């Protein structure tokens, strides 16, 4: 019998709702915020934001993220790390549980994940035709990272490279959203987006702490598995420091407006989460609050930064 709150077939009799829930929609918020940062970056450069292009970009960025979520569930099921995870902190770690609880078959989840990723391609080609050819490379790199994060033979997360993949992936979300409006490349979305992307990587990083035993047993050598829970705490602090240090450096060098410093308020939940992680790194049930605060830090930082970029003269 699945624990309370986990998905079951009885709780999701409607096929549409079942497949929608399998994408883990609550976690798509970071992609929504990343698109806003990219649009804010374009607006801060004096570019008028086209609402139609912005809406299409946002929708298909969310579809790509949903596909990556589903693909990750599929390959984690194949590796066996989710089925044996008895220390998971649902809904944040241990996968969506759709396969393990019999809501969807492993084969159906795999097909669904690849279908979602494939659905992004026509929209990407249309946006490329509207904006500029360079967008195709951003889109291809984004799809590649979403696939390579968990799929063999690369399996970036299993090789301790997941945080680099996540940082690259969400920086591409920001850069792509900016590119569609700007019709070209610029350092501006990198200046705006790298700190945000690092905070998204920290969400995935802290989620590895409750899963450390199951991941190790399945041969999934995440960075937290490689370092061990106690040493891995320093990694969380380093990623957060790099984020907020990047924002300060970009303001100091005039790549971001001074108003962007308001996004440093995201450091408050990051610090509280670090305090909890420092005390309870080896106690999965005690990490729920820290995980929630880490998500809050990324969303708060991104929203404040997007607002600052839009309002700055």
From first to last of its 313 residues, what are the pLDDT tens digits of the chain? 566 689 999 999 999 999 999 999 999 999 999 999 999 999 999 999 999 999 999 999 999 999 999 999 999 999 888 888 888 999 999 999 999 999 999 999 999 999 999 999 999 999 999 999 999 999 999 999 999 999 999 999 999 999 999 999 999 999 999 999 999 999 999 999 999 999 999 999 999 999 999 999 988 999 999 999 999 999 999 999 999 999 999 999 999 999 999 999 999 999 999 999 999 999 999 999 999 999 999 999 999 999 999 998 7
Q: Is residue 24 part of a domain?
A: no
Q: Return all residues near 144 (Cβ < 8 A) that are at least 6 apart.
A: none
Distances (CA, A) of 103 to 34, 78, 93, 115, 211: 31, 16, 18, 18, 22
d(CA 23, CA 277): 27
Cβ atoms of residues 25 and 295 within 8 Å: no
Q: Is residue 9 part of a domain?
A: no
d(CA 256, CA 203): 24
Q: Is residue 5 part of a domain?
A: no
Number of domains making up the chain: 1
pLDDT of residue 3: 67
Three-class DSSP category at 82:
coil
Q: Is residue 96 part of a domain?
A: yes
> DSSP per residue over 114-170, as a string?
HHHHHHHHHHHHHHHHHS-TTHHHHHHHHHHHHHHTTSTTT-TGGGT-HHHHHHHHH
pLDDT of residue 86: 86
Cβ atoms of residues 97 and 2 within 8 Å: yes
Q: Is residue 12 part of a domain?
A: no
Alpha helices in 15-103 (DSSP H): 15-22, 29-44, 51-79
Q: Is residue 294 part of a domain?
A: yes
Domain enclosing residue 144, as ranges? 30-311
d(CA 98, CA 286): 24
Q: Is residue 22 part of a domain?
A: no
Q: Is residue 8 part of a domain?
A: no
d(CA 205, CA 230): 13
pLDDT of residue 242: 98
């Amino acid at each position: 019998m699945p624990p309370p709150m986990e998905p079951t077939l009885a709780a999701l009799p409607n096929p549409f709702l079942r497949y929608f829930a399998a994408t883990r929609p609550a976690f798509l918020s970071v992609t929504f915020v990343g698109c806003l940062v990219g649009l804010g970056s374009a607006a801060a450069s004096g570019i008028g934001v086209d609402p139609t292009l912005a809406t299409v970009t946002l929708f298909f960025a969310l579809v790509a993220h949903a596909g990556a979520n589903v693909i990750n569930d599929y390959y984690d099921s194949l590796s066996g790390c989710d089925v044996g995870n008895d220390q998971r902190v649902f809904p944040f770690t241990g996968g969506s549980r759709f396969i393990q609880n019999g809501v969807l078959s492993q084969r159906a989840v795999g097909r669904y994940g690849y279908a979602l990723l494939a659905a992004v391609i026509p929209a990407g080609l249309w946006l490329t035709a509207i904006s500029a050819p360079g967008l195709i490379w951003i889109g291809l790199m984004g799809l590649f990272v979403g696939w390579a994060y968990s799929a063999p033979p690369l399996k970036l997360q299993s090789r301790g490279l997941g945080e680099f993949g996540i940082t690259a992936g969400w920086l591409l979300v920001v850069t792509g959203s900016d590119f569609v409006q700007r019709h070209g490349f610029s350092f501006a979305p990198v200046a705006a987006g790298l700190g945000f992307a690092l905070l998204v990587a920290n969400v995935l990083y802290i989620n590895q702490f409750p899963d450390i035993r199951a991941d190790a047993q399945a041969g999934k050598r995440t960075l937290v598995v490689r370092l061990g829970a106690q040493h891995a705490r320093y990694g969380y602090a380093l990623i957060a420091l790099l984020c907020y240090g990047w924002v300060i450096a970009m303001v100091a060098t005039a790549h971001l407006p001074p108003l962007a410093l308001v996004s440093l308020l995201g450091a408050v939940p990051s610090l509280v989460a670090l305090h909890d992680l420092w005390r309870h790194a080896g106690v999965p049930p005690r990490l729920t609050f820290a995980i929630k605060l880490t998500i809050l830090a990324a969303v708060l930082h991104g929203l404040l930064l997007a607002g600052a970029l839009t309002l700055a003269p």
